[in-house]
Amino acid sequence: MDRLADDSQVKQNWRGAMVRRLLLLIGACLLLGLLSGEYAWALAAGLAAYLGWTLSQLLRLHKWLQEHQPDEPPPDGYGLWGEVFDSIYHLQRRNEKARGRLQAVIDRVQESTAALKDAVIMLDSHGNLEWWNRAAETLIGLKTPQDSGQSITNLLRDPRFIDYFERGNYLEPLELPSPLSDRRRLQFHITRYGNREHLMLVRDVTRLYQLEQMRKDFVANVSHELRTPLTVIAGYLETLLDNVEGVNPRWLRALQQMQQQGARMQNLLNDLLLLAKLEATDYPSDNQPVAVDLLLLSIQSDAQALSGERGHRISLEADPHLKLKGSEAELRSAFSNLVFNAVKYSPNEGAIRIRWWGDEQGAHLAVQDSGPGIEARHLPRLTERFYRVDSSRASNTGGTGLGLAIVKHVLLRHRARLDIASSLGKGSSFTCHFPNSQTVRRVG
């Protein structure tokens, strides 16, 4: 408020001074006119002198604006021109201060990102490099300033990165070996911002990767080592039970239970080894078109055998012209896990429906049952290893708790996803969605 009042005071002061100066000039001209008797000439000469002075001030201003050093004050001026010189000078000082403050903020942001251990890379909307910090040089080998403006897919040539970058779905990060050393493992996070520009963060996750690798190797080795002793024990139990007459009747029931639990342990080890194998590589080694309709037909008959006297009604509708690229053994294990679960968890004589069809989005396999259903809160965790909705229900069925984890891994390796829809008392529906890139369609 005070400053505004001061400003208007100053303005009024110099306005008054200007009016006084003009009146003085006109007065002097009139006096000259009175003395010489030539009023018009005297007035013209006065105005010409004023115009000349104004032009000279304008030229001084122009010269100062063009040639002045950053801190050089403006030339002295009188009246209105003095005000103009001062205002421009103050405006410039204010702008310089604001620019200095912004530059300091930018410097601090750049200093702190440069000190980060993670690489920060800014890409324009075409994926060309705009800016990166020092860690980007050590982690992925960007070179300053040569790589500026280069496309990121020219510098990171791993097909998995190019595929991930171009697909544009950055919900999950991507993990790859570093382009500088195979022993280093990097995790790439990409976020879109502004006008479709990309912000890429790259973290060194070598240590985590090694720990994860140790965990996988440990489980795989233990499972492998346990298999031989278990086979020997199961073999002897079978021999003993084959010669029931020679066995003390008091031991018969114990031996039978031992055989049952031994078989369960064998299933568990087989599932653990299968999971370890699935985790060892990203994609299946064989990628032949698999006749899913025939595969499902054989799974349907196995499921009917598993159902036995429980008499489930298992129906199959499958498109015979729709094939799937991938590993037949892996797909068999995933699909049979879903169908066998439906048999295990449905009541006797329950209906189970298997469907295999294709549409614009890709190919789909649905297994629908009329079982007890699953509460919504369990659904997100169902594919975790050993996760069970109801442990008493699961132990009766003899399941290993690894079935859906295997399904999830097999689907991941086939670029597919699992959708589970279920509600208590209304049965469940497990649907696998495969993208078009994995399908082979035969017309006719």
User: Given the rule CB under 6 A, which residues bind ligand ADP?
Assistant: 337, 341-342, 345, 369, 371-372, 374, 382, 387-390, 394, 399-405, 428
CB of 144 to ligand ADP, least distance (A): 50
Whether the bond between 435 and the residue before it is cis, its omega within 30 degrees of 0, is no
Nearer to ligand ADP, 201 or 263 (CB): 263
CB of 343 to ligand ADP, least distance (A): 9
CB of 175 to ligand ADP, least distance (A): 25
CB of 250 to ligand ADP, least distance (A): 33
CB of 404 to ligand ADP, least distance (A): 3
Nearer to ligand ADP, 301 or 396 (CB): 396
Taking a C-beta distance cutoff of 8 angstroms, is the pair 431, 364 a contact? yes
Alpha carbon distance, N-terminus to C-terminus of the chain: 85
C-alpha–C-alpha distance, residues 429 and 418, integer Å: 10
- 420 CB-near residues (< 8 Å, 6+ apart): 374, 379, 382, 428, 429, 430, 431
CB of 186 to ligand ADP, least distance (A): 32
CB of 422 to ligand ADP, least distance (A): 7
Nearer to ligand ADP, 121 or 272 (CB): 272
CB of 378 to ligand ADP, least distance (A): 7
Nearer to ligand ADP, 133 or 300 (CB): 300
CB of 261 to ligand ADP, least distance (A): 15
Nearer to ligand ADP, 307 or 400 (CB): 400
Nearest partner of 332 among 370, 371, 291, judged by Cα: 291
Tell me how far CA of residue 183 lies from CA of 110, 186, 201, 213, in angstroms. 30, 10, 20, 13
CB-based closest residue to ligand ADP:
399
Burial of residue 32 (number of CB atoms within 10 Å: 0-12, 13-18, 19+):
middle
Nearer to ligand ADP, 121 or 366 (CB): 366
Nearer to ligand ADP, 74 or 371 (CB): 371
Nearer to ligand ADP, 26 or 412 (CB): 412
CB of 410 to ligand ADP, least distance (A): 13
Nearer to ligand ADP, 152 or 404 (CB): 404
Nearer to ligand ADP, 178 or 223 (CB): 223
CB of 331 to ligand ADP, least distance (A): 16
Nearer to ligand ADP, 327 or 428 (CB): 428
